[in-house]
Amino acid sequence: MVNKDVTHPNMRRRIENPRIILLDCPLEYKKGESQTNAEVTDEKHWARLLEIEEEQVKQLCDSIIALKPDLVFTEKGVSVDDLKESDVGTGCGLFEVQKIGDEYFTFLTKCKDPKACTIMLRGPSKDILNEIERNLQDAMAVARNVVFEPKLCPGGGATEMAISVGLAKNSQNISGVIEQWPYKALADSFEVIPRTLIQNCGGNAIKVLTQLRAKHAQGQHTWGIDGTKGVIVDMKEYGIWDPYAVKAQTIKTAIESSCMLLRVDDVVSGMSKKTEQEPPKHAADEPEGMQLE
């Protein structure tokens, strides 16, 4: 579907099995990119300049007419000199122009082996249509991620709790209290997702988190938080899944952001040492305002 009408009222608005040409060039006189000045001293020369423009447009039209198309869609960018018979599209079964509301739309339907389609949204107001469009784009993005990465993870905070329990369990195999801290800190951070889901439902975060942690400790990693009631349920039975690609990218981004903040802390420490080595300044020499330590 294209939000366009025919350019002339005498053109047909319904064509069965049309021959279609798609162009990336405008059907008009093409001006040069560089500016040039031409001095015309005779009226015949000026008329000849105008004729050259018409001849160029006529040459473009003749190249298209030679292929006998029924429909021509134009944009701009590429010349029509390389057009050949095999470039004419004949897979469309029906061309039709329809009026929807106050606008005209071109429909190309009954196509053979189509590679693209149009989703038409209709609603009572533009605000509702914009909201529907945003939701549809999100849904199509989810479907795209699943197609390119056909893996799913249980939702409702089940994946985060499974990772948290696994990290806490692995930390017990690490010797040294300091060496265990990164595992424990990361395990606690992953519990933020299920805790937030419980708090949004008005549930008891400590009680429900303890129950969920016990389920995952028993190996039932598909259990998560019901976003409506705030209780633990099996995400597999509820059919709540998250794309693996989105979940993996979220975790990577969070860890990379944490590493970046840790590196910034080293820079701040270095600046503090440099400040200590400088001679003290008098209070009168210091600028007004807040001073960062």
Q: DSSP secondary-structure letter at 2?
A: B
CA atoms within 13 A on the CB side of 162: 14
Whether residue 125 is found in the same domain as residue 196: no
Q: Can you give the pLDDT of all 293 residues of the chain as single tens digits?
A: 677 777 777 778 788 888 877 777 666 666 666 677 777 777 787 788 778 777 777 777 787 788 888 887 776 544 455 455 554 556 777 878 888 777 888 887 887 777 778 888 888 888 998 999 999 999 998 888 888 889 999 988 899 999 999 988 888 888 878 888 888 888 899 999 999 999 998 888 899 999 999 999 898 999 999 888 888 999 998 889 989 988 999 999 988 888 888 777 555 555 555 555 556 555 445 444 444 44
DSSP string over 50-111:
HHHHHHHHHHHHHHHHTT--SEEEE-SSS-STT--GGGSB----EEEEEEETTEEEEEEES-
| 128 in any annotated domain | yes
| 49 in any annotated domain | no
| 223 in any annotated domain | yes
Q: Domain limits at 134?
A: 121-150
**Structure-token pair, residue 80:** 């029509």
Whether residue 145 is found in the same domain as residue 170: no
| 203 in any annotated domain | yes
β-strand partners of 20: 71, 89
Whether residue 141 is found in the same domain as residue 174: no
Whether residue 131 is found in the same domain as residue 210: no
Whether residue 144 is found in the same domain as residue 247: no
The number of folded domains in the chain is 2
**Dist. CA 257–CA 249, nearest whole Å:** 12
**Dist. CA 74–CA 63, nearest whole Å:** 14
| 187 in any annotated domain | yes
**Dist. CA 82–CA 63, nearest whole Å:** 9
| 266 in any annotated domain | yes
Whether residue 132 is found in the same domain as residue 163: no
| 88 in any annotated domain | no
